[in-house]
Amino acid sequence: MLNFCANLSMLFNEVKFIDKFKLASENGFKGIEYLFPYDYSKSDIKDQLSDNNLSQILFDFPAGNFAEGERGIAIFPERKNEFREGVHKAIEYATFLNCERLTVLVGIADGKYTTEQYNETLIENLLYAADQVKNTNITILVEALNTIDAPNYFVSSTSHCKEIIKAVNLQSVKIQYDIYHMQIMEGDIIRTFENNFDKIGHIQIADNPGRNEPGTGELNYKKIFEYLNNSDYAGWIGCEYAPKNNTLESLKWIREYGVMNA
């Protein structure tokens, strides 16, 4: 059986963040993820995890001014210190919450630097982050985003993720493979899994178009889940989609596909 975690940044928006943990547990999830925990105390989050028998699967490093459209700062030479401060903050939360995956949103290229300079800065920052987690069980994940939703986002393909990871050359740095984003940018989902299985540390799902729940768009999630279930993938799959109507109604795909004990 596949391991699905509820993305609390996208699901259960009918209630406040701190109340989402209970709803996730009541609907069969054993793990949760979200973008950022930093507006909440570590203790409050840990209490919710403990009270609802949930594992903290993943969250992101601080990513700049997200509300104003920033999608990470890891490519900007002038923001290295800010990125590194965020690394320490994220590790502090992750250690306290027993979270073993941290995602780097790399940033939207602003044209001030060359591709080579953005790449060099990103690699340097990833090496720094990896060095900070070398004595932990934390894996650092690099996520590619589609450039329709995030124009000029610097890493927008699996191949670019692979280039970055090859340059870093550490087992603690892997790909966060978001099926929704990569369906838009490149498609060929199952073959991509087959060719990059050892490099993928986390998967996220949503259908396309619309970024709604599986079964609402063009992706054949039945086949994708069958493939993953028959593969050696032992990681988690984050449900990072926007419910088409409401969250509880959106969860019917779990029963229809028979992919989780809920």
Answer whether 213's CB lies under 8 Å from 180's CB. no
Task: Give phi and psi for 167, each to the nearest 5.
Answer: -65, -40
Q: CA–CA separation, 154 vs 112, rounded Å?
A: 13
Q: CA–CA separation, 141 vs 199, rounded Å?
A: 10
List the one residue out of 253, 229, 247, 250 whose CA is nearest residue 3. 229
Q: CA–CA separation, 5 vs 233, rounded Å?
A: 15
Among residues 14, 143, 213, 256, which one is catalytic? 143
The residue to which tokens 């993305």 are assigned: 7
Among residues 33, 100, 213, 240, which one is catalytic? 240
Q: CA–CA separation, 150 vs 108, rounded Å?
A: 8
Q: CA–CA separation, 194 vs 209, rounded Å?
A: 24
| Residue 116 among the catalytic residues | no
| Residue 194 among the catalytic residues | no
Residue 111 φ/ψ region, left for φ over 0, alpha for ψ in the -120 to 50 degree band, beta for the rest: left
**Exposed / middle / buried, residue 244 (Cβ in 10 Å: 0-12, 13-18, 19+):** middle
List the one residue out of 105, 213, 193, 189 whose CA is nearest residue 149. 105
Q: CA–CA separation, 185 vs 150, rounded Å?
A: 12
User: Which amino acid, one-letter code, is at 35?
Assistant: L
Active site (catalytic) residues = 143, 240
